[in-house]
C-alpha cells in the first residue's frame, strides 16, 4: 500500500458526506447498520463539546421495526457494538472501543451518540468486511462480452461468482458487474460496479469459483447494500426494492473502467482476498 495514503482518521474529522456503518451483535447475529451523520445546531454542538470534548460522532436515531412498530435500537446487553466503519475519499477506517447511547440535546432532538474511547480510526483492510450470501443470477460485462453469472456472496470490497456462460471470463482484464436485486417476479439494477478477478479455485463437479475485488470508489454504496441485505435477513422483509439507486445515470462507466481500477486494485491485489472464496 502506498505510504502517502492516510493511515488514521480522528473521529472529529468524520464529515456528513462520509458513509458510517455500525457493526454490532444483535440477537446473536453479526450485522452492519448504516447510519446518517446528524446535522447539529451551534447550541447542540457546544453542548457536546463541553460534555464530550472531541470524542464523539452524532448520528441520526438508529431505528428498527419490531412487531410493526419503529423503535430506537438500544446498544446494550445482547446488542453489543463491535466497531464503527467510516468510508470517505481517503479510504476505509475502523473505530473500536465504541459506546453508543441515545442522547437528547438542547432543542429536544434525540440522537444516537457514538462515543469513542479511542478517537483514532485505523485504515481498514477491506477484505475483512462482513459478507452476505445472495446466490443470485447477475450479468457481468468484459469489453464487448457479456456473461451470465451466479453471485454467491458479496461484501463492500469484493464478491465471488460461478460463470454460467459457455465462454470464459478473462481473469487478467477488468469487468463491470451489473448488481441485480430481485423482488418477487421483478428485478432491479442496484448499479454497475467495476472490478477484477483476484483468484480462481476449481471445485468438485468441474465448476470454477472466481474471487473478485471491487474498486474502492464503490465502497460507500456497497456498504449500504450489505447493511440493507443484513436487515432483510434479520426482519424477513425487503428493505429497499423501490429505492434502487444506480451508480451512474449514463454509460460513462464504460470509459471509466481503466482509470477507476488504478491503485485501488493494485493495492488490494497485494492483500490476498481469500475470504471472498469459500
Distance CA 213, CA 209 (A): 13
- What sign does the CA torsion over 85, 86, 89, 91 have? negative
Residues (pLDDT < 70) of the chain are 1-5, 27, 76-79, 125-130, 231, 233-278
**pLDDT (tens digit per residue) in 132-178:** 888 889 999 998 899 999 999 888 778 999 999 988 899 888 999 99
pLDDT confidence of residue 237: 63
pLDDT confidence of residue 7: 85
Which residue pairs from 102-105 have beta carbons closer than 8 angstroms and sit at least 24 positions apart in sequence? Answer: 102/61, 102/72, 102/74, 105/40, 105/44, 105/47, 105/48
Distance CA 76, CA 57 (A): 18
Fold match between 8-124 and 128-276? no
pLDDT confidence of residue 245: 44
Q: Which CATH superfamily is domain 128-276 in?
A: predicted glycosyltransferase like domains (2.40.10.220)
What are the residue ranges spanned by the domains of the chain? 8-124, 128-276
pLDDT confidence of residue 218: 80
> What is the CATH topology of the domain spanning 8-124?
Pnp Oxidase; Chain A (2.30.110)
Q: pTM value?
A: 0.53
Amino acid at each position: 500500500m502506498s505510504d502517502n495514503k492516510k493511515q488514521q482518521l480522528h473521529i472529529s474529522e468524520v464529515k456528513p458526506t462520509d458513509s458510517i456503518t455500525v457493526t454490532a451483535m444483535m440477537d446473536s447475529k453479526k450485522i452492519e447498520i448504516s447510519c446518517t451523520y446528524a446535522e447539529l445546531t451551534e447550541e447542540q454542538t457546544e453542548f457536546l463539546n463541553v460534555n464530550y470534548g472531541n470524542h464523539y460522532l452524532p448520528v441520526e436515531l438508529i431505528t428498527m421495526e419490531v412487531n410493526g412498530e419503529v423503535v430506537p435500537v438500544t446498544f446494550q446487553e445482547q446488542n453489543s457494538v463491535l466497531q464503527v466503519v467510516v468510508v470517505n475519499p481517503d479510504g476505509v477506517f475502523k473505530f473500536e472501543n465504541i459506546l453508543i447511547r441515545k442522547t437528547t440535546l438542547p432543542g429536544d432532538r434525540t440522537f444516537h451518540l457514538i462515543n469513542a474511547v479511542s478517537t483514532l480510526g485505523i485504515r481498514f483492510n477491506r477484505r475483512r468486511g462482513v459478507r452476505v450470501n445472495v446466490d443470485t443470477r447477475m450479468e457481468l460485462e468484459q469489453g464487448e462480452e457479456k456473461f451470465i453469472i451466479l453471485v454467491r456472496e458479496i461484501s463492500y470490497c469484493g464478491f465471488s461468482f460461478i460463470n454460467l456462460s459457455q465462454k470464459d471470463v478473462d481473469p487478467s482484464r477488468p469487468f463491470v458487474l451489473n448488481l441485480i436485486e430481485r423482488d418477487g417476479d421483478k428485478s432491479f439494477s442496484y448499479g454497475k460496479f467495476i472490478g477484477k478477478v483476484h483468484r480462481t479455485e476449481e471445485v468438485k463437479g468441474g465448476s470454477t469459483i472466481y474471487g473478485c475485488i471491487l474498486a474502492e470508489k464503490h465502497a460507500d454504496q456497497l456498504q449500504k447494500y450489505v447493511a440493507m441485505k443484513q436487515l432483510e435477513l434479520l426482519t424477513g422483509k425487503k428493505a429497499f426494492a423501490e429505492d434502487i439507486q444506480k451508480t451512474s445515470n449514463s454509460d460513462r462507466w464504460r470509459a471509466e473502467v481503466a482509470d477507476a481500477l488504478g491503485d485501488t486494485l493494485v493495492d488490494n491485489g497485494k492483500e490476498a482476498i481469500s475470504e471472498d472464496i469459500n
